[in-house]
Copies of this chain bind each other. A is one copy, B any other.
Amino acid sequence: MVEQTLGDKLARDILGRIRGGQILPGAKLNAKSLADDFRVSRTPVLEALKTLAARGIATHAPNRGYIVSSTALNGNVGSELDEPVPVTDLYYRLAEDWVGQEIPQDVTEQYLLQRYKARKSEVVGTLVRAVNEGWAERKPGYGWTFLPVVSTPEAFEQVYRFRSAIEPAALLEPTFEFDTQVLDEQERIQQRYLDGAIDTELPDRLILIGMQFHEEIIRLSGNTFFHQALVRVNRLRHLLELRSIFDRARVYDQFSGHLELIRLLRKGDPIEASFYMRQHLAEATSKKTSIQRAHVQNKIRR
């Protein structure tokens, strides 16, 4: 994990809001309300604003606060803040190495500490995360064990079967709440990608957008357990997807499916929506597993 203070993260997030059009050039960046919004104190927000000012995204007038500069959306002003969340994360390296059989099944913290030259807190944090995702376990005494889930090709199918059990069911929850704002937001996002961004965007980003859509929809069920289960399983799925062959063409089908789902939800017909969701998932499964098989066979052949 690259050193990153809360102020840095906030700078990114605020810039994200500007890029996404939620905050317009010329608008005042009220420190207090931003702090409340992000549930932090003004201190890190102020740091973020200073960073943004230094990058030319905001201008500062003494005793009058910060304002989004008119050039904020020009070309690559402050682009160094845009994406560089560097994915050299220990988490990914560890997952990669485990799947690739580079590390033994049983390891000690010490071993990981040395192998990755990482800080202890980072190693422990990563292991805890892996435990949550179900691919690592603490041994009763010293040491940790990695479980084979992530490395098996069946995992893909199992995830999809699990999702098929919960996602359509979630739409039928009596507490389902039909939040127009969420639907609008998601429709906007999916549409934007369908209008072209699919061809240029990084695979990883597209995967995340797709997962986010499902998570947001399931969240409307009003039953946290469905939502939490999906989020958890999606984190693992993310790892699996990163290792599989990525098919952009499939994303078109997927995202237009999402728009159709929104349409059905708007119609106020949860049963039909639930049914459609089931289909939508089934499609993904069949295509996915054949891709996965091809992938595995290629590997064996080599």
- With CB as the reference atom, state the residue of chain B lying closest to A170: B165
Report chain B residues within 8 Å CB of A161: 173, 223, 225
Most chain B CB inside 10 Å of its own CB: which residue of A40, A41, A228, A232? A228
Tell me, yes or no, whether A66 is within 8 Å of chain B by CB: no
Report chain B residues within 8 Å CB of A175: 154, 158
Report chain B residues within 8 Å CB of A33: none
A contact face: mostly helix, strand, loop, or mixed? helix
- With CB as the reference atom, state the residue of chain B lying closest to A140: B40
**Known A-B contacts A140-B6, A228-B134; A223 and B162 likewise in contact (beta carbons under 8 Å):** yes
Report chain B residues within 8 Å CB of A39: 139-141, 145
- With CB as the reference atom, state the residue of chain B lying closest to A159: B225
- With CB as the reference atom, state the residue of chain B lying closest to A134: B228
Contact residues, A131-165 vs B (CB, 8 A): 132, 134, 139-141, 145, 149, 154, 158-159, 161-162, 164-165
Contact residues, A97-117 vs B (CB, 8 A): none
Tell me, yes or no, whether A182 is within 8 Å of chain B by CB: no
- With CB as the reference atom, state the residue of chain B lying closest to A40: B141
Report how far A223 CA is from B158 CA in the complex, Å: 6
The 0/1 profile, CB within 8 Å of B marked 1, for residues 172-211 of chain A is 0101000000000000000000000000000000000000
Report chain B residues within 8 Å CB of A6: 140-141
Choose among B140, B158, B170, B224 the residue that contacts A224 (Cβ–Cβ < 8 A): B158
Report how far A162 CA is from B169 CA in the complex, Å: 8
Report how far A229 CA is from B134 CA in the complex, Å: 10
Choose among B38, B41, B149, B169 the residue that contacts A165 (Cβ–Cβ < 8 A): B169
**Known A-B contacts A128-B128, A141-B6, A149-B224; A162 and B229 likewise in contact (beta carbons under 8 Å):** yes
**Known A-B contacts A158-B224, A173-B161, A225-B162; A44 and B141 likewise in contact (beta carbons under 8 Å):** yes
A9-B140, A162-B223 are known; give 5 further A-B pairs, CB within 8 A.
A6-B140, A39-B145, A154-B175, A158-B223, A165-B226
Which 4 pairs between the two chains have the least Cβ-Cβ distance?
A165-B169, A162-B225, A40-B141, A158-B223
Question: What are some 8 contacts across the A-B interface (CB < 8 A)?
Answer: A38-B140, A39-B140, A44-B141, A128-B128, A134-B224, A134-B225, A165-B166, A228-B232
